[in-house]
Structure 1
Amino acid sequence: MILPLYPITVLDLTGSLAMIFLSGLCLKIAREINCRDKDNPMSTYLLWLMTAIFAFSVSRSMGHIIKHILYFTDHEHLWKRLSPVSGSINTVTFIVIAAVTLFFRRMQQIMAQINLDKEKIEKTSKELLLLNRDTEAIVSERTRAELALSVAHDIRNPVMVIGGLIRRMIKKLPDDAPERKNLETVLNFAVRLEQLVARFEGLHKEMSLSFSAQELNSLVDEAIDIVKPEADKEEIQIIFNRAHKALWFKGSRHLIKIAIVHILRNAIEACSTGNTILVTNGLCDKGISVQVQDNGPGIPEAVLKHVFDAFYGTKEKGTGLGLSMVRQIIEEHRGTIDIKSREGKGTLVTIEFRTHLSTD
């Protein structure tokens, strides 16, 4: 009755040895892969998994080999004692395999989320870089424009007086007077200066003519997306109550986005952990509006009087041009900006735009 079991026994022993050999070979290959790419979590997972499988193969195979040896040497009673131990070892190694798989599955999910966050950060960084470039361009442009307008204001009256006097002098001179040619030359230069002054004064009008139709809801959405990582880092919640209908106005998308981002960033810097910033779009008497309200510490009354003054600021770092630049952007869009604040109660910033800009 025992002889027919020999082929099965030989097959079991051969299979057990083959299992140890193959799992050992797989472990060797997994180590080589991990050595070539140690930073790859999948290669680390493969190494851990194959180590656990090799341990399971050795435990299970050695249990079968020992069992057959004890049976052939008439020590079956010893196997009855060792069998629970062997089964327990097999169970533990199987649990280790499952634990490694579940652990690395979770790690893979975490890595995927990290990659998504990385992409968001890179996208936000690009947006911030573009906004910073736009801000620098705006400051440079405003400085040149203000300088040009200041020069135009200073030379307008003298040029008009000179031109008027020269014209009167030319009218009084006869056509053949020798001084007439010199006075006409002076008058030509005075006219050229008057035209130059007019060109300087037309800068604002030319800028207004370059505006195009913009939708406020989507624009505020983009501004919030830019500052949201900063708010999340400080555990500050931003709530956006967007209007149910599209809110259209005429202006520059980049400039208005810069203004709103600056206001949101000011609110984030003023708030503490757990505070809330409420952004609300809607209709108003003048047209459309966006409000940014926070429940932070508020602005002292002495500071509130000067928030729009250029080069005035309470931050250790910065130029103090922030809100001054924001107000200039809003006013260039024929809009208004108002800030109300009470210490300990928070701050409310209201920006209003006309829905149709006149051409005057």
Structure 2
Amino acid sequence: MGHRHKNKKLGILIFLVVCVLFLHYCTIHDVVLRHAIYRMLFFLPLVLGSFWFGLKGAIFVSISIIIPYIPYVYHQWNGFYQEFDKFLEAGLFVFMGCLLGYLSEKQQREQEARLKAERLAAIGSAVSQIAHDLKSPLMAIGGFTKQVTRHLSIDHPDRKKLDLVISETFRMEAMVKEMLDFGRPFQLQKTEENLNHLAAECIEISLPFAKSSGVDINTEFDPEITVRPLDSNRMKQVILNLLTNAIQASSSGKIVSVRTKREKQGVALDISDCGCGIKAEDQQKIFEPFFSSKKEGTGLGLAIVKKIVELHGGHIILFSNPEGGVTFSIKLP
């Protein structure tokens, strides 16, 4: 909703509330039927506010009506029992507003989720088709280049060029694999796994890359974490992706931290880096397909991570660290 459009709608709500309040205050108290009609008119801005702004809109309209209406009720007060019906009416008014606001927000969230799912399905289908078409030519290029390389001596002037072709082909194949992973539906193969053990294995795999980057990995595992149903291969894919990103983000001499802990609703795995951080506006888009703050890559890595975590019934969040960098936190049931 645009800022100008939002202000216009707020203006309409305020205008309607002021008009109905004006009618109340300008009509003598004895004309009971008119006041009853005016009170019914309050439902118009309430309904509009609920549909336009959800629960917040309903609360805003309710407060905007009730507070200015209190002096009128005070001056016309005839005792609690005589005015009891108006208390019930006010309670019903607020309840209806909150209910409409809640239902409106729920419908909007469901619609957004449905549109997002449809968009991701369309993107996934297109990406999968493109990746499938690229896979065979890349395998042919890599295979033939390796065959030619075998017939060249180590000091041949063209060998470095062919090694570069092989290296770039390997990188492209990895990108194609990411595209295929994003496009195809995942079938989880869950077994009883310990999150600490999975994280430790991924750290062992990542150590050579971390050492070559001059980055240390610090661990803090909760020993009381028990086994739970997890797809070990997919969870390793998640942890390795986050570890690689954290190492790449941290400069030489810095530390990447990996922590596990028990929580009320399950377990958490936190991976923190000491990089330059992620802009606040980018944090909202970081898990979207093809969004990347790096020059290399497809921008699908974190989208796949999110997909795998959610298939396990969990969710992933990120937040900025006070000392710099960011933390990715995985919550699993």
Report the TM-score when normalising by structure 1: 0.42
